[in-house]
Amino acid sequence: EMSEMSERSKQNVAHGLAWSYYIGYLKIVLPRVKKSMEEFSRVNPSGLSCRETWKLHILVPLNCDVYDDLEKADSNIQYLTDLSETTLTRAGTKKRVYKHSLYAIRDKGNKLWHCALEYATPLQSLYAMSQDECAAFSREDRLEQAKLFYRTLEEILKSSKECAGTYRLIVYNESEVTETHFLSREILWHLQQQCHEEYAMCERNHLHTPSTSFDSTEFNLQISVSDQPQPLRSD
Protein backbone atom coordinates (compact mmCIF):
# COMPACT_ATOMS: atom_id res chain seq x y z
CA GLU A 1 0.00 0.00 0.00
CA MET A 2 2.82 2.39 0.87
CA SER A 3 4.54 1.51 -2.40
CA GLU A 4 1.40 2.28 -4.38
CA MET A 5 0.97 5.62 -2.59
CA SER A 6 4.59 6.48 -3.36
CA GLU A 7 4.10 5.53 -7.01
CA ARG A 8 0.97 7.68 -7.34
CA SER A 9 2.63 10.72 -5.77
CA LYS A 10 5.84 10.10 -7.77
CA GLN A 11 7.93 10.53 -4.61
CA ASN A 12 10.39 7.82 -5.57
CA VAL A 13 11.29 9.05 -9.09
CA ALA A 14 13.96 11.63 -8.22
CA HIS A 15 15.24 9.61 -5.26
CA GLY A 16 15.86 6.58 -7.48
CA LEU A 17 17.45 8.67 -10.23
CA ALA A 18 19.84 10.32 -7.78
CA TRP A 19 20.99 7.01 -6.30
CA SER A 20 21.35 5.42 -9.72
CA TYR A 21 23.38 8.39 -10.96
CA TYR A 22 25.68 8.14 -7.95
CA ILE A 23 26.14 4.36 -7.83
CA GLY A 24 26.29 3.79 -11.57
CA TYR A 25 28.38 6.79 -12.56
CA LEU A 26 29.64 9.38 -10.07
CA LYS A 27 31.06 6.89 -7.57
CA ILE A 28 33.07 5.42 -10.46
CA VAL A 29 34.36 8.56 -12.15
CA LEU A 30 34.71 11.21 -9.42
CA PRO A 31 37.62 9.59 -7.52
CA ARG A 32 39.59 9.68 -10.80
CA VAL A 33 38.88 13.29 -11.75
CA LYS A 34 41.82 14.96 -9.98
CA LYS A 35 44.28 12.51 -11.52
CA SER A 36 42.97 13.35 -14.99
CA MET A 37 43.26 17.06 -14.25
CA GLU A 38 46.81 16.61 -12.97
CA GLU A 39 47.78 14.78 -16.16
CA PHE A 40 46.36 17.58 -18.29
CA SER A 41 48.06 20.24 -16.15
CA ARG A 42 51.48 18.63 -16.58
CA VAL A 43 51.15 18.97 -20.35
CA ASN A 44 49.41 22.37 -20.18
CA PRO A 45 50.79 24.08 -17.05
CA SER A 46 49.05 27.42 -17.75
CA GLY A 47 45.64 25.91 -18.48
CA LEU A 48 44.56 24.94 -14.97
CA SER A 49 46.14 27.48 -12.64
CA CYS A 50 43.58 27.23 -9.82
CA ARG A 51 43.77 23.77 -8.26
CA GLU A 52 40.56 24.31 -6.31
CA THR A 53 38.63 24.05 -9.61
CA TRP A 54 40.10 20.63 -10.42
CA LYS A 55 36.69 19.03 -10.02
CA LEU A 56 33.82 17.81 -12.14
CA HIS A 57 31.33 20.68 -12.39
CA ILE A 58 27.85 19.21 -12.69
CA LEU A 59 25.11 21.43 -14.10
CA VAL A 60 21.68 20.95 -12.50
CA PRO A 61 19.07 23.04 -14.34
CA LEU A 62 15.80 22.82 -12.40
CA ASN A 63 13.79 23.17 -15.61
CA CYS A 64 15.59 19.98 -16.82
CA ASP A 65 16.54 21.68 -20.09
CA VAL A 66 19.73 19.81 -20.98
CA TYR A 67 21.75 20.75 -24.07
CA ASP A 68 23.73 18.03 -25.80
CA ASP A 69 26.12 20.71 -27.08
CA LEU A 70 27.13 23.21 -24.39
CA GLU A 71 28.54 25.59 -27.00
CA LYS A 72 25.01 26.02 -28.36
CA ALA A 73 23.69 26.74 -24.90
CA ASP A 74 26.08 29.69 -24.50
CA SER A 75 28.64 31.03 -26.99
CA ASN A 76 30.98 31.98 -24.12
CA ILE A 77 31.47 28.27 -23.42
CA GLN A 78 34.05 26.63 -25.68
CA TYR A 79 34.99 22.98 -25.85
CA LEU A 80 38.73 22.40 -25.52
CA THR A 81 39.48 18.69 -25.26
CA ASP A 82 38.66 15.47 -23.44
CA LEU A 83 40.50 14.46 -20.30
CA SER A 84 42.12 11.02 -20.07
CA GLU A 85 39.69 8.11 -20.26
CA THR A 86 38.85 5.52 -17.64
CA THR A 87 38.15 2.08 -19.10
CA LEU A 88 36.30 -0.57 -17.09
CA THR A 89 34.40 -3.77 -17.74
CA ARG A 90 30.94 -3.13 -16.35
CA ALA A 91 27.59 -4.96 -16.45
CA GLY A 92 28.69 -7.18 -19.32
CA THR A 93 30.19 -4.40 -21.43
CA LYS A 94 33.87 -4.93 -22.14
CA LYS A 95 36.12 -1.88 -21.93
CA ARG A 96 33.38 0.62 -21.16
CA VAL A 97 34.82 4.13 -21.51
CA TYR A 98 34.22 6.98 -19.06
CA LYS A 99 35.57 10.43 -19.87
CA HIS A 100 34.99 14.13 -19.21
CA SER A 101 35.23 17.16 -21.45
CA LEU A 102 37.24 20.24 -20.59
CA TYR A 103 35.77 23.65 -21.44
CA ALA A 104 36.96 27.24 -21.52
CA ILE A 105 34.53 29.82 -20.12
CA ARG A 106 35.06 33.39 -21.33
CA ASP A 107 34.38 36.23 -18.88
CA LYS A 108 33.60 39.89 -19.62
CA GLY A 109 37.30 40.73 -19.79
CA ASN A 110 37.91 37.93 -22.34
CA LYS A 111 39.82 35.92 -19.75
CA LEU A 112 39.40 32.16 -20.14
CA TRP A 113 38.55 29.97 -17.16
CA HIS A 114 38.96 26.21 -17.62
CA CYS A 115 36.92 23.45 -16.03
CA ALA A 116 35.55 19.95 -16.54
CA LEU A 117 31.85 20.43 -17.16
CA GLU A 118 28.75 18.37 -17.89
CA TYR A 119 25.04 18.13 -17.15
CA ALA A 120 23.47 15.78 -14.64
CA THR A 121 22.14 13.38 -17.28
CA PRO A 122 19.18 11.96 -15.22
CA LEU A 123 17.47 15.33 -15.71
CA GLN A 124 16.96 14.32 -19.33
CA SER A 125 14.79 11.47 -18.08
CA LEU A 126 12.69 13.87 -15.99
CA TYR A 127 12.24 16.13 -18.99
CA ALA A 128 11.30 13.21 -21.26
CA MET A 129 8.75 11.99 -18.70
CA SER A 130 7.07 15.40 -18.69
CA GLN A 131 6.73 15.16 -22.49
CA ASP A 132 5.30 11.63 -22.51
CA GLU A 133 1.56 11.22 -21.95
CA CYS A 134 2.03 7.73 -20.53
CA ALA A 135 4.07 9.10 -17.63
CA ALA A 136 1.35 11.56 -16.59
CA PHE A 137 4.12 13.87 -15.43
CA SER A 138 3.30 17.59 -15.34
CA ARG A 139 5.70 20.52 -15.43
CA GLU A 140 4.99 21.11 -11.75
CA ASP A 141 5.87 17.47 -11.03
CA ARG A 142 9.05 17.89 -13.03
CA LEU A 143 10.15 20.96 -11.09
CA GLU A 144 9.48 19.33 -7.74
CA GLN A 145 11.29 16.17 -8.79
CA ALA A 146 14.26 18.18 -10.09
CA LYS A 147 14.54 19.91 -6.69
CA LEU A 148 14.26 16.58 -4.90
CA PHE A 149 16.88 15.07 -7.23
CA TYR A 150 19.30 17.89 -6.37
CA ARG A 151 18.72 17.65 -2.61
CA THR A 152 19.05 13.86 -2.63
CA LEU A 153 22.20 13.90 -4.76
CA GLU A 154 23.74 16.60 -2.57
CA GLU A 155 23.11 14.55 0.57
CA ILE A 156 24.51 11.38 -1.03
CA LEU A 157 27.69 13.11 -2.20
CA LYS A 158 28.24 14.89 1.11
CA SER A 159 28.32 11.53 2.88
CA SER A 160 30.60 9.92 0.28
CA LYS A 161 34.25 9.81 1.37
CA GLU A 162 35.40 8.67 -2.08
CA CYS A 163 33.90 11.74 -3.76
CA ALA A 164 34.94 14.41 -1.25
CA GLY A 165 36.47 17.44 -2.98
CA THR A 166 35.97 16.07 -6.50
CA TYR A 167 32.75 17.77 -7.61
CA ARG A 168 30.80 21.02 -7.65
CA LEU A 169 27.03 21.04 -8.13
CA ILE A 170 25.83 24.10 -10.06
CA VAL A 171 22.08 24.32 -9.58
CA TYR A 172 20.09 27.06 -11.32
CA ASN A 173 16.69 27.84 -12.81
CA GLU A 174 16.67 29.70 -16.11
CA SER A 175 13.03 29.08 -17.04
CA GLU A 176 12.29 32.81 -16.84
CA VAL A 177 15.75 34.06 -17.83
CA THR A 178 16.28 35.43 -21.34
CA GLU A 179 19.88 36.60 -20.89
CA THR A 180 22.16 35.23 -23.61
CA HIS A 181 25.12 34.42 -21.37
CA PHE A 182 23.28 33.43 -18.22
CA LEU A 183 24.83 29.95 -18.09
CA SER A 184 28.45 31.07 -18.54
CA ARG A 185 27.96 33.74 -15.85
CA GLU A 186 26.58 31.12 -13.49
CA ILE A 187 29.56 28.83 -14.08
CA LEU A 188 32.05 31.69 -13.77
CA TRP A 189 30.59 32.66 -10.40
CA HIS A 190 31.28 29.16 -9.09
CA LEU A 191 34.81 29.06 -10.55
CA GLN A 192 35.69 32.45 -9.09
CA GLN A 193 34.26 31.48 -5.70
CA GLN A 194 36.46 28.39 -5.61
CA CYS A 195 39.57 30.36 -6.51
CA HIS A 196 38.78 32.96 -3.84
CA GLU A 197 38.34 30.14 -1.32
CA GLU A 198 41.73 28.70 -2.27
CA TYR A 199 43.38 32.12 -1.98
CA ALA A 200 41.73 32.77 1.38
CA MET A 201 42.86 29.37 2.64
CA CYS A 202 46.44 30.10 1.61
CA GLU A 203 46.26 33.47 3.37
CA ARG A 204 44.93 31.85 6.57
CA ASN A 205 47.60 29.20 6.48
CA HIS A 206 50.24 31.88 6.04
CA LEU A 207 48.92 33.97 8.92
CA HIS A 208 48.60 31.01 11.25
CA THR A 209 52.01 29.50 10.53
CA PRO A 210 53.78 29.12 13.88
CA SER A 211 56.78 31.41 14.18
CA THR A 212 60.14 29.74 14.80
CA SER A 213 61.77 32.98 15.99
CA PHE A 214 60.33 33.18 19.52
CA ASP A 215 62.38 35.19 22.00
CA SER A 216 64.27 32.78 24.23
CA THR A 217 63.23 34.80 27.30
CA GLU A 218 59.58 34.29 26.38
CA PHE A 219 59.73 30.48 26.57
CA ASN A 220 62.53 29.68 29.02
CA LEU A 221 61.85 26.08 30.03
CA GLN A 222 63.45 24.90 33.28
CA ILE A 223 64.36 21.24 32.89
CA SER A 224 65.70 19.42 35.93
CA VAL A 225 68.43 16.81 35.59
CA SER A 226 67.47 15.27 38.92
CA ASP A 227 64.85 12.59 39.49
CA GLN A 228 63.96 14.19 42.84
CA PRO A 229 61.17 16.80 43.15
CA GLN A 230 62.52 20.32 42.87
CA PRO A 231 61.08 23.57 44.29
CA LEU A 232 59.29 25.90 41.86
CA ARG A 233 61.36 28.91 40.83
CA SER A 234 60.21 32.21 39.41
CA ASP A 235 63.61 33.18 37.94
pLDDT tens across 33-57, in order?
A: 999 999 988 888 777 778 899 999 9
- What residues contact residue 186 under an 8 Å CB cut-off, 6+ apart? 170, 172
Give the CATH number, domain containing residue 107.
3.40.50.12100
pLDDT > 80? residue 99: yes
DSSP letter string over 122-135? HHHHHHHHHH-GGG
Q: Would residue 225 count as lying in a domain?
A: no
Give the residue with greater pLDDT, 61 vs 46: 61
pLDDT tens-digit map of 163-191: 999 999 999 987 666 678 999 999 999 99
Domain total for the chain? 1
Amino acid at 135: A
Higher pLDDT, 177 or 201: 177
The pLDDT of residue 46:
72
- CA 65 – CA 133 distance, rounded (Å): 18
Query: Pairing between strand 77-82 and 86-90?
Result: unpaired
- Please check whether residue 118 lies inside any domain of the structure: yes
Please give the torsion angle defined by the CA atoms of residues 187, 122, 52 and 83, in that order, rounded to the nearest 10 degrees: -100
Domain hosting 198: range is 11-207
Q: Calculate mean pLDDT across residues 213-225.
A: 42
Contact 142, 31 (CB under 8 A): no
233 falls within a domain: no
For residue 80, give the 3-state DSSP assignment: strand
pTM of the model: 0.79
Residue 4 lies in a domain: no
pLDDT band at 11 (very low <50, low <70, confident <90, very high): low
